[in-house]
Amino acid sequence: MRDFWNESSKKEKKLNVKKVRRTIIIVIVFIIITGIITVYVASQNARNWIDKNILRKEIMQENVINIDIEPDQNIKAYAFNKNIVTLNNNVLKIYNNSGKKEKDLNVEINNPIFESNNRFLTVAEDKGQKLYFISGQDIAWQTQIEGNISRIHINKNGYVAVVIIDTSYKTVVNFYSPQGKELFKTFLKSTRVIDVSISNDNKYLALAEIDTSGTTIQSNIKIISIDKAQNDSQNSIIFIHNADPNKLITNIKYQDKDRLVCMYTDSIDVIENNQNRNIQNIEEKRITFASIELNNSITTIEEQSSGIFSVNTVVKLKNVSNERENEYIVSDVTKEIYTNGDVIALNFGTEVHFINTNGWLIKKYISKQEITNIVISENIAAIIYRDKIEVINI
C-alpha cells in the first residue's frame, strides 16, 4: 500500500515539473516577443534591420515578376483589385498577380481615364464619348455619352458618376446603376465640376464645384440625395457648403459613415452631419504632397531638415474619425506619392516604400534604374518602365 502512494506521489511530482517547465518556456517566449515588439516600435534602426533581415520586406528588382511590353508603343497601364491592365491599339489586356495574361477585351479607347473600386473598373475616353464598365474581367456594360467625358467616379458597390463638359450646360453629371441604367442627370449652368464622390452606402452624390464667373473664385460642395434625384433631380440637393472666397477645391472623397473629405489648396476639411470642420492645414509647413484617397485617413508629406545637407521625409497619417496621427520617417526626399485604400507608395527615385495607414512598412522595392511611373491598388503595384512592367504583390 505504501509503495502505491509513493509511486503516485512521484508521478504527480513529475507532472508538476513538466507543467512548471512549460509555463517558464511560455513566459520566456512571451517576454522575448514583447521585447522585440517594443524595440521594433521604439527604434527606427532596429525596425529597419528587422524589416530587412527577419521579415524580408525588402525586394530587389531582379526578383520581381515582369510583364514584357513593346518599347515603341504608347501603352497605358493601371492596377485594380488583384490585376494589372494595359491598353494599346484598342485592346485592354488583363494580367493576374503572377504576371500571366488572363483576358483581352476590345474597347474603343485611345486616351483612357481609368477609375476603379473593389472588383469594378471603368474605362472612358478622355474628352470623348465612350465608357466601359468592367466587373471582374468582363465588360458588364458600355455606353455612349452626349458631350465629352472629363471625369468618372465609381463607388465600392458599382455605382458610377460621369462628369461631362462641352454641352449647352457648363457641366452635366450622369449617374448610373451597377447594371448600367442611367438613374438621373444633374445639370449645372455656370459652375465647373472638379470632382465627384459617391457614398459607400449609395445614398449621396457629392459635387465639388468652382464658379469663376465673379470677381473671386468660389468653391462649393453640393450633396445630392440619390433617392430624391431619381424622382426630382431639380430638388435633390440636401446640403451646400460655400467655401471662403478664393479657397480652391481640388478633390473630394467619401469615407466611412458618410464623412466627406474635401481637399483644398490650403487645407483639408471634413463634412459630417451637415457640418464642416478643418482637420489639416497644408500651407503652413513644408508640405510637399497631400492625399485624401485613402480609407478613413488622410496623409501629408513634410520635408524636415535633419542636418546641414540632409532632409528627412516625414509621412503623417491622420485618422479622419478620431484625428489620431501616425508617422513614417525616411532619410530621403520623396519624389512622388501614390495612394489607394490603406496603401501609400513613396517614390524615392530608385526605391519605393509601400506603407499602410498605421505608418508601418509593407514592402520596400529597390531598383537599379530611375522609377518614374507607378500604379497601385490595395493588393498589387506595377512599376512601369519603357520595355516592361514589374509586378509587386502588396
| Chain-centroid distance, C-alpha 241 | 25
Q: What is the pLDDT of residues 308-347, one digit of tens each?
A: 777 889 999 999 999 999 999 999 999 999 999 999 999 9
**If pLDDT is split at 50, 70 and 90, which confidence band does 4 have?**
very low
Q: Report pLDDT for 209.
A: 96
118: amino acid identity, one letter: N
Q: Taking 80 as the threshold, does the pLDDT of residue 27 lie above it?
A: no
pLDDT over threshold 60, residue 365: yes
Mean pLDDT of 347-365: 95
pLDDT of 41 higher than 70: no
Cβ neighbour number for residue 232 with a 10 Å cutoff: 10
pTM for the predicted model, two decimal places: 0.88
CA gap 185, 168 in Å, rounded: 14
pLDDT tens figures, 266-318: 999 999 999 999 999 988 778 999 999 999 999 999 988 877 777 889 999 99
Decide if pLDDT at 143 tops 60: yes
Q: What is the pLDDT of residue 234?
A: 86
- pLDDT > 90? residue 246: no
Q: How confident is the model at residue 5 (pLDDT cuts 50, 70, 90)?
A: very low
Backbone φ, ψ for residue 40 (5° rounding): -60, -40
Q: What is the pLDDT of residue 74?
A: 87
Of the pLDDT bands very low, low, confident and very high (cuts 50, 70, 90), residue 14 is low
Grid coordinates standing for 103? Answer: 483576358
Residue 242 has pLDDT above 90, yes or no: yes
Q: Which pLDDT band holds residue 42 (cuts at 50, 70, 90)?
A: low
